[in-house]
Amino acid sequence: MSMTEIAPLSPAAQKVRESYDAFKAKGLKLNLTRGKPASAQLDLSQDLLSLPGASDFTAEGATDVRNYGGAQGLIEVRRLFSGILGAPPEQIVVGNNSSLALMHDTVVFSLLKGNCDSTAPWSKQDVAFLCPVPGYDRHFTICQEHGIRMIQVPLNTDGPDMDAVERLVAEDATIKGMWCVPKYSNPTGAVYSDAVIERLASMKTAAPDFRLFWDNAYVVHHLTDERVEIANVLELAAKHGHPNRPFVFSSTSKITLPGAGLAMFAASKDNVKWMLARLAPRTIGPDKVNQWRHVRFLKNEGGVLDLMDRHRALIAPKFAKVLEIFDAKLTGIPGVQWTRPKGGYFISLDVPKGSARRVVALAKEAGIELTPAGATHPYEKDPDDRTIRIAPTFPELADVALAAEGVALAVQLATA
Ligand SMILES: Cc1ncc(COP(=O)(O)O)c(C=O)c1O
């Protein structure tokens, strides 16, 4: 055969091509990009919209929740989330919706002022963050937006590659922070082991003001009967003499309403003091009416866990459907593997090196929108062009099934 001739497709590849073309001909419009709750999940918190009621506005300490003040957040909400966050109420700050906003502001405050262990604002020097990959694109966007250099470290199923992390933070004082999604991480579902968390809490860092940005976004977002628990990073860091190291973040975005939830920050007493000092010039207080309505609606930690069970009933079948289809269609294809998360909002699909972009393009041609290949890595560049993030929560189950079929066909075609 000369170089210009195109090899004929094998019968198996021909069959894949026909199935793909038939799928494409359906002219579907499906979307697996959005890590957001489906409307049915938002309906679970519909009662929030009629709370707290016209005459119910006095919280502990005769606090009128309608008025200014209370920068740290109502004590009732801080108590409610204390167990979940693993911090006493006095070490919690509750803000408005979006923990991402809190993370962003914490980075910016650190750049402008330094933190309580800094001798100078971070921005006075080159600053780098460790970024376990694959990871959450919006963490990387915060760094990119503010000129923070990103250093990739591999994320294993039990957390980041700690040999790499320990070596890097010990030798490089420009490394001021590290992004961590310790439970059901975005997008692989990885859960940090106790050993990894202890090493993060105890490791030597060249920068005395180094911080773990501990984004526990999926702290109660279980998909199985097993409510996975992880080690308490605040306690371990304190035990190892680094009480200020973790900045813990979480929110009720995927518990109640992403557009009207509560964001939370938990940290050492000194960090909380530092954060409140930074917030003081910015606001005369958060939306305490929303905090109060969350207290009325969720009631206690048990109320949160019950609500999460109802979320799970709605979304676990969607994850199961994707996995069932991938198992049936993709098992045994060399270089193709996917995660089976026990919680969180994503499945991570690995395809052979150099083919993720092609799979995403083929899926798009067939009517399925996927998160762009590369989004799981800093600077939107996956050096192996291998990882694809699948977000099954938002579409209806039937559409999730169709989309998973289409993705599987795109993978089969790209690897045929
Ligand atoms: C790891 C992680 N952190 C934070 C967020 C956003 O949180 P919030 O809605 O509280 O801003 C998400 C949303 O997908 C996420 O996956």
- Segment 2-25 shows an average pLDDT of 84
Q: pLDDT digits over 18-31, tens only?
A: 999 999 999 999 99
- Can you tell me the distance from the alpha carbon of 106 to that of 247, in angstroms, rounded to the nearest whole number? 9
Q: pLDDT digits over 61-88, tens only?
A: 999 999 999 999 999 999 999 999 999 9
Strand partners, 249: 215, 265
Residue 140 CA to ligand 1 centre (angstroms): 12
pLDDT of 2 reads: 47
Strand partners, 149: 128
pLDDT of 9 reads: 79
- Segment 375-379 shows an average pLDDT of 97
Res 1 pLDDT > 50: no
Res 161 pLDDT > 70: yes
Nearest CA to ligand 1 atom 13: 35
* Pocket lining: 217 vs ligand 1, CB cutoff 6 Å: yes
- Can you tell me the distance from the alpha carbon of 370 to that of 367, in angstroms, rounded to the nearest whole number? 10
pLDDT of 202 reads: 98
Place of tokens 């210009």: 4
Which atom of ligand 1 lies closest to the CA of 97?
A: 10
Res 199 pLDDT > 80: yes
Nearest CA to ligand 1 atom 15: 217
How many residues are there in the chain?
A: 416
Mutation choice for ligand 1 from 104, 141, 184, 186, CB with most ligand atoms inside 8 A: 186
pLDDT of 221 reads: 98
Which atom of ligand 1 lies closest to the CA of 100?
A: 11
pLDDT of 5 reads: 60
- Determine if the peptide bond prior to 134 is cis (ω within 30°): yes
Are 116 and 104 in contact by the 8 Å Cβ rule? The answer is no
Contacts by 334-338 with C-beta closer than 8 Å and gap 24+? Answer: 334/415, 335/415, 336/411, 336/415, 338/390
Strands 211-215, 246-251: parallel, antiparallel or unpaired by DSSP?
A: parallel
Which atom of ligand 1 lies closest to the CA of 346?
A: 16
- Determine if the peptide bond prior to 52 is cis (ω within 30°): yes
Three-state DSSP state, 196: helix
Res 127 pLDDT > 50: yes
- Segment 386-396 shows an average pLDDT of 97
Q: Which of 249, 253, 247 is nearest to 97 (CA)?
A: 253
* Pocket lining: 118 vs ligand 1, CB cutoff 6 Å: no
- Can you tell me the distance from the alpha carbon of 378 to that of 98, in angstroms, rounded to the nearest whole number? 21
pLDDT of 87 reads: 98
Mutation choice for ligand 1 from 93, 99, 394, CB with most ligand atoms inside 8 A: 99
The gap between the terminal CA atoms of the chain, to the nearest Å, is 20
- Report how far Cα 334 is from the mean position of its chain's Cα atoms: 29
Q: Which of 188, 186, 257 is nearest to 215 (CA)?
A: 186
Res 6 pLDDT > 70: no
pLDDT of 404 reads: 98
Res 3 pLDDT > 80: no
* Pocket lining: 233 vs ligand 1, CB cutoff 6 Å: no
Q: pLDDT digits over 248-304, tens only?
A: 999 999 999 999 999 999 999 999 999 999 999 999 999 999 999 999 999 999 999
∠ CA 154-158-162, nearest 5°, is 50
Q: Which of 37, 95, 82, 72 is nearest to 253 (CA)?
A: 37
pLDDT band at residue 8 using 50, 70 and 90 as cut-offs = confident
Rg (CA), the chain: 23
Which atom of ligand 1 lies closest to the CA of 136?
A: 1
β-sheet with 92-95: strand ranges across: 92-95, 263-266, 246-251, 211-215, 175-180, 128-133, 149-156, 159-160
Cα–Cα distances in angstroms (integers) from residue 283 to residues 71, 122, 269, 411, in the given order = 8, 23, 20, 50
pLDDT-above-90 percentage for the chain: 97
Residue 278 CA to ligand 1 centre (angstroms): 22
∠ CA 368-21-360, nearest 5°, is 35
Element (H, E) at 326: helix 301-330
- Cα pseudo-dihedral 241, 198, 233, 202, rounded to 10: 30
pLDDT of 97 reads: 95
Res 117 pLDDT > 60: yes
The DSSP call for residue 98 is -
Place of tokens 């199935």: 19
- Can you tell me the distance from the alpha carbon of 220 to that of 96, in angstroms, rounded to the nearest whole number? 19
